[in-house]
Chains A and B, each alone.
Chain A
Amino acid sequence: MEEEVSTANGGAVCTGIPKDAVIRLEDATKVYSLPFGDVVALDRICLAVMPGEFIAIMGPSGSGKSTLLNLIGSLDVPTEGDLYIDGRDTRTLSDDELTELRRDRIGFIFQQFNLIPLLTVLENVEYPMILKSRQAVKGSSRARDLLLRVGLTEQMLAHKPKELSGGQQQRVAIARALINDPAILLCDEPTGNLDQATGKLIMDMLSEVNRRGKTIIMVTHDADVAAYAQRTITIVDGKVQ
């Protein structure tokens, strides 16, 4: 169902934004106040992401891709305009509510893998689950199953992340992102630190995850990687082209 939505911000209007989109950006603007003046990182972005979509975001460095991903990841909120995730207006949420949204509804996959160095592979995957359930889930079968499904072996589970290869670490990151069964996966250059063959394996894995119904939004510089997405959005100077 598509419904035209208008916003009151400066008289601008985002048209054609479906209300049932899992992510809705309506005239979303992000301005950073720096000592030498304000920098507009995102300028009146209108974007709707439907459930189950796989979207690639491309654009030159400094174009606002990461800022957009941070907003969608509820790590930040728009300075102006609205951002709805799962129907919730992120500008009205407290820091704890935004954190819960990230924990329960969003999975992050980073270029640098960003696993917790002090925890083992298995514990890294269990961690978001523990945050959610507020109780110890040591050796949980769900975390173990996920890790085995993304291609790790039983022996690797007790290792620390730095003892694994880049590809293996990214698989752990995928398992961690999926552990709380989120609606949205946010991937920031997921193959940026991997060789081509491993990158392909990871992208195949993400495609499979998308086929199973997860919405994926991926920032990439690589057109081959972007080709896995159903839709590509290009951002230049903070605006969607």
Chain B
Amino acid sequence: MIFFEISKRNIRLNWLRSFLAAAGIVIGVIAISSMGILGSSLTLSVTDSLSTVGDSVIVIPVVGQPGQNMVTTEALITERQLQQITRVVAPNDAVPIHAGADRIEIGPDKTVAAIYGIRPDQIPLMVDIADGIVPRSTSGALAGALLADEYDLKTGSRVRVGNETVRITGILEEQGMGFDINPDNALIVSDRWYATTYDQDDYDQVIVKVRDINDIDAVKLAIERALNRRDDVVTVYDTRMILEMIIETFNQISTFTTAIGGISLLVAGVSIFNVQMMSVTERIKEIGIIRSIGTKRSEVMKMFLYEAFILGVVGSGIGGILSFAGGYIAVSIMLQDTTYLFYPETLFYIPYGMVIGLIVTLLSGLYPAWKAANLNPIEALRFE
């Protein structure tokens, strides 16, 4: 088509400013797509690293300010409350957990680790053991995978915890980040050892393992009704809800970073607008000529929109290709893992950025094209 040819030649004639305008679009598309890729990879990575905990309900004591009708003194779940929970959630398992942290010594090494006290028969409900067995005696302990790896702990190793010594009876499988307990850098001891050592009979939290995921809401309700009848004594979360909240948060972060990328595309749009306005101003006489010899307004508009379209296609195309590299670099630096880059939901941000780039370019070219089409042909012909 002749209009497309004229547009192409005008771009070629003014190649430097056309190149700079397209470069703006390239940068904008890279910014949008790379940020989108990074955000998506981050969300996928976090979602994946959270252990599969969609089946748990977490009960923690309410911590609040005095005078707000909240329990403030103990901030622990008592044995009586545990029994209430156990009763109302049956046949699901309620796992009471002591949680704390202490200084530990492994040979010459000293560090601080999380300590979880769990009833030995309930430990398999909470963690998987890679090597060894659940502690049978009170002085036995399981070591988290990362802790064991870092300090070369094996079954039979001895670890000094505070003033006591425990013997490692097993090493856990790596669990990833969890909402209930995070055992990878922790020691898991028996509830009795914990209660005796730290003189704490009450529990920091109770995890209810729900057998049928559809019962989660009913279980939560039952606990709330049993314990929070008069005052809010406990807060009840389900891990599915937390997971959704976290994913939602990361999605918001992803949208936010993509929007920041969008600002650069907006700047590029202004540059396209500027270039197109310059093109119209420089070609007023030419517009007068083509209008006088029979070119319709719509055809003049088409000619200028083609110009914006070419800049948009070239800019978005190059931007799309480079944004893969940009996303790769961003993900490599931020996550040190590019696995999630190749997921469809991550790669989606490349065509997404390209389409946005093209739309911004066309929108930026719309007014100049309209202005060109509506020039008075007589005045345009007189223009020098």
Q: Do A and B share a complex?
A: yes
Interface residues of A (CB under 8 A from B): 70, 73, 75-76, 95-96, 99-100, 102-104, 108, 110, 114-119, 123, 126-128, 130-132, 136, 176, 180
How many residues on B have C-beta within 8 angstroms of the other chain's C-beta atoms? Answer: 24
Q: Would you call the interface of chain B mostly helix, strand, loop, or mixed? A: helix
Whether B292 contacts A75 by the Cβ 8 Å rule is yes
Whether A73 contacts B292 by the Cβ 8 Å rule is yes
A70-B378, A75-B377 known; A100 and B9 CB under 8 Å? no
A residues less than 8 Å from B294 (CB atoms): 99-100, 102-104, 128, 131-132, 180
A residues less than 8 Å from B9 (CB atoms): 118-119
Whether B1 contacts A116 by the Cβ 8 Å rule is no
**Interface hub of A95, A110, A116, A128 (most chain B Cβ within 10 A):** A116
A222 to B347, CA, bound (A): 71
**Interface hub of B286, B293, B297 (most chain A Cβ within 10 A):** B293
Closest 9 CB pairs of A and B: A103-B294, A118-B9, A114-B289, A102-B294, A99-B296, A130-B2, A131-B294, A75-B378, A75-B377
- 11 sample A-B contacts, Cβ–Cβ < 8 Å, listed by A number: A75-B291, A75-B377, A95-B296, A99-B294, A100-B296, A102-B293, A103-B294, A110-B381, A123-B2, A126-B2, A127-B290
A76 to B212, CA, bound (A): 80
B residues less than 8 Å from A103 (CB atoms): 293-295
A180 to B295, CA, bound (A): 13
Whether B297 contacts A96 by the Cβ 8 Å rule is yes
A110 to B377, CA, bound (A): 14
A residues less than 8 Å from B297 (CB atoms): 95-96, 99
Whether A116 contacts B290 by the Cβ 8 Å rule is yes
Whether B295 contacts A99 by the Cβ 8 Å rule is yes
B residues less than 8 Å from A176 (CB atoms): 293
**Interface hub of B6, B10, B294, B377 (most chain A Cβ within 10 A):** B294
> Can you list, as one digit per residue, whether each of B288-317 has a CB less than 8 Å from chain A (1) or not (0)?
111111111111000000000000000000
Whether A119 contacts B378 by the Cβ 8 Å rule is no
A residues less than 8 Å from B333 (CB atoms): none
Q: Which B residue sits closest to A104, measured CB to CB?
A: B294
In angstroms, how far is the closest chain B Cβ from the Cβ of A88? 15
| Residue B16 interfacial (CB < 8 Å) | no
B residues less than 8 Å from A75 (CB atoms): 291-292, 377-378, 381
| Residue B13 interfacial (CB < 8 Å) | yes
Whether B293 contacts A76 by the Cβ 8 Å rule is no
A residues less than 8 Å from B285 (CB atoms): 114
Whether A116 contacts B291 by the Cβ 8 Å rule is no
Whether A131 contacts B6 by the Cβ 8 Å rule is no
A residues less than 8 Å from B293 (CB atoms): 102-103, 108, 127-128, 131, 176
Q: Which A residue sits closest to B285, measured CB to CB?
A: A114
A73-B292, A75-B378, A131-B295 known; A117 and B2 CB under 8 Å? no
A residues less than 8 Å from B292 (CB atoms): 73, 75, 102, 108, 114
> Can you list, as one digit per residue, whether each of B319-346 has a CB less than 8 Å from chain A (1) or not (0)?
0000000000000000000000000000
A115 to B286, CA, bound (A): 8
Q: Which A residue sits closest to B291, measured CB to CB?
A: A99
A95 to B381, CA, bound (A): 17
B residues less than 8 Å from A126 (CB atoms): 2
Whether B286 contacts A117 by the Cβ 8 Å rule is yes
**Interface hub of A103, A115, A126, A176 (most chain B Cβ within 10 A):** A103
In angstroms, how far is the closest chain B Cβ from the Cβ of A178? 12
B residues less than 8 Å from A104 (CB atoms): 294
Whether A114 contacts B2 by the Cβ 8 Å rule is no
A118 to B351, CA, bound (A): 34
Q: Which A residue sits closest to B1, measured CB to CB?
A: A136
In angstroms, how far is the closest chain B Cβ from the Cβ of A73? 7
Which B336-384 residues have a C-beta within 8 angstroms of A? 377-378, 381
A76 to B294, CA, bound (A): 13
In angstroms, how far is the closest chain B Cβ from the Cβ of A179? 10
Whether B6 contacts A116 by the Cβ 8 Å rule is yes
B residues less than 8 Å from A102 (CB atoms): 292-294
